[in-house]
Amino acid sequence: MAYQHTFHRHKTREVKVGSLVVGGDNPVWVQSMTTPDTYDLEATVAQIHRLEEAGCEIVRVTVPKPADAAVLSEIKRRIRLPLICDIHFDYKMALAALDHPVDKIRINPGNIGGYDRYRQVIRKAKAKGLPMRIGVNAGSLEREMAEKYGFPCPPAMVDSALRYIEIAESEGYHELIVSLKSSDVLTAVEAYRLYAKQANYPTHIGITEAGKAPYAVTKSACGLAPILLDGIGDTIRISLLGDPVPEIAAAFDILQATQRRVRKPELIACPTCGRLEIDLEGIIAQLEKRLAGKTTAVKVSVLGCVVNGPGEAREADLGIAAGKGKGVIFKRGDIIRHVLEKDMVSALVEEIEIWEKEEAAKGTLKTGGASIQNESTRAQERTIAMAEVEGRMRLPVLG
């Protein structure tokens, strides 16, 4: 019997943020945060436009002072992304931000001065019909939780989040998103897992203060992959030192690798080693160029030797196993073409287009937001196809 991956997404409420809906079965939306002083209107708007061009779907600006709140309406007028206002320490800035046409506010209730001030923000957000993110950070837990637990451990973070959820619910307010961020990977993973067992408000996930790329991307991937594979997470940010634009590609790569959002073809290629018998780097470079802009969730494997090539090629939607300047193309486990090295790129692109038309005709073509559930079905289909042809597959052109 063919193996099928199991995946269960953490079932959460839906919360509307601007034109997007967060939670439920909606995509995991990618967000980032601007780095200029928010009151520097031109610099802030220019960076938001760059983030949007990179694929950012939600953007956050910090609002620490009245001059920042004063430009929120103009920022909103000049951008297309949902706009979140980030508030720390001064609850009055949250109240001021809510006087503008923003789409959400983010606060850390533990550092705005007590429950009464938190309730004031809730009441105004409720009156405005706007959602709020409760941002619990390991580094800034309220004193009560720090004293109760002794240190910022996952139970303390979740206890804090649940306390603030209860207060919001007591005010009849349910438009909540929750984050439980830490710069420590293990703390973040355990906190989100514990939270998911106790609440159903959607979550924003991230490893905070991850540092400078490339290590920060690796650290974020290590922390977010277990969370995503557990089905947790409704929006995501990769926190990188410096220009935030690279955060977007990193976030989508992590979503793609965990199959939470497959929004472009995935190219599989073997590492270079002494067995390599084709110009694999050149072929992959050409394929990347030819497939740029495609959003089809097709998995394409290009393997350059006879050791792992046939098996890996059969597991992909389309694949090439090659050696000594020639190879075979597999499609759903079957050999469909023999090709020379010089024709491999064009042949694969042709087969991808045919594959897309066949999937579209069947109503199974996935583009831009395919989830792991879709990938599981495709993986099962590929495994069945492999089983049916196992034993009769050979690589006759590679002798």
Q: What is the DSSP string of 299-333?
A: EEEEE-STTTHHHHHHHSSEEEEEETTEEEEEETT
- The CATH number that applies at residue 36 is 3.20.20.20
Residues 253 and 284 reside in one and the same domain: no
Domain-located, residue 139: yes
Strands (E) located in 11-121: 14-17, 20-23, 29-33, 58-62, 83-87, 104-107
Residues 242 and 279 reside in one and the same domain: no
- The CATH number that applies at residue 361 is 3.30.413.10
Residues 381 and 322 reside in one and the same domain: yes
Strands (E) located in 82-131: 83-87, 104-107
Q: Residue-wise over 348-374: b if at least 16 C-beta within 10 A, else e? A: bbebbeebeeebeeeeebbbebbbbee
Residues 147 and 71 reside in one and the same domain: yes
Element (H, E) at 117: helix 115-128
Cα 308–chain centre separation: 30
Q: Which amino acid is at 175?
A: E
Residues 134 and 238 reside in one and the same domain: yes
Q: Radius of gyration of the chain from Cα atoms?
A: 24
Domain-located, residue 9: no
Domain-located, residue 1: no
Domain-located, residue 96: yes
Q: What is the pTM of this model?
A: 0.83
What 3-state class would DSSP assign to 218? helix
Residues of the chain with pLDDT under 70: 1-5, 272-275, 305-314, 368-399
How many domains are contained in the chain?
Answer: 2
In angstroms, the CA 375 to CA 232 distance is 17
Residues 171 and 274 reside in one and the same domain: no
Looking at the chain, the whole-number percentage of residues with pLDDT higher than 70 is 87
| Other CB atoms within 10 A of residue 99 CB | 12
Q: Pick the last residue of a domain from 210, 232, 257.
A: 257
Domain-located, residue 4: no
Residues 223 and 279 reside in one and the same domain: no
Q: Which of 130, 121, 184 is nearest to 152 (CA)?
A: 184
Residues 199 and 292 reside in one and the same domain: no
Q: Pick the last residue of a domain from 257, 275, 296.
A: 257
Instruction: Quick: pLDDT tens for 155-214.
Output: 999 999 999 999 999 999 999 999 999 999 999 999 999 999 999 999 999 998 878 899
Q: What is the pLDDT of residue 8?
A: 86
Q: Pick the last residue of a domain from 257, 286, 315.
A: 257
Q: Residue 51 belongs to what domain range? A: 14-257
Residues 181 and 279 reside in one and the same domain: no
Residues 233 and 88 reside in one and the same domain: yes
Domain-located, residue 2: no
Nearest-10 Cα torsion for 289, 293, 299, 305: 0
Residues 49 and 195 reside in one and the same domain: yes
Q: What is the pLDDT of residue 306?
A: 61
Q: What is the pLDDT of residue 142?
A: 78
| Other CB atoms within 10 A of residue 66 CB | 12
Instruction: Quick: pLDDT tens for 128-157.
Output: 999 999 999 887 777 788 788 887 799 999
Q: If 0-12 CB within 10 Å is exposed, 13-18 middle and 19+ buried, where does residue 91 land?
A: buried
Q: At what angle do helices 344-362 and 280-291 cross, to 10 degrees?
A: 40
Domain-located, residue 6: no
Nearest-10 Cα torsion for 240, 176, 10, 210: 10
Q: What is the pLDDT of residue 111?
A: 82
Q: What is the pLDDT of residue 367?
A: 73
Strands (E) located in the chain: 14-17, 20-23, 29-33, 58-62, 83-87, 104-107, 132-137, 176-181, 204-205, 235-236, 266-269, 299-303, 318-323, 326-331, 334-340
| Other CB atoms within 10 A of residue 8 CB | 9
Say whether the peptide bond before residue 310 is cis (omega within 30 degrees of 0).
no
Domain-located, residue 8: no
Residues 312 and 361 reside in one and the same domain: yes
Residue 324 backbone zone (phi > 0: left; psi -120 to 50: alpha; other: beta): left
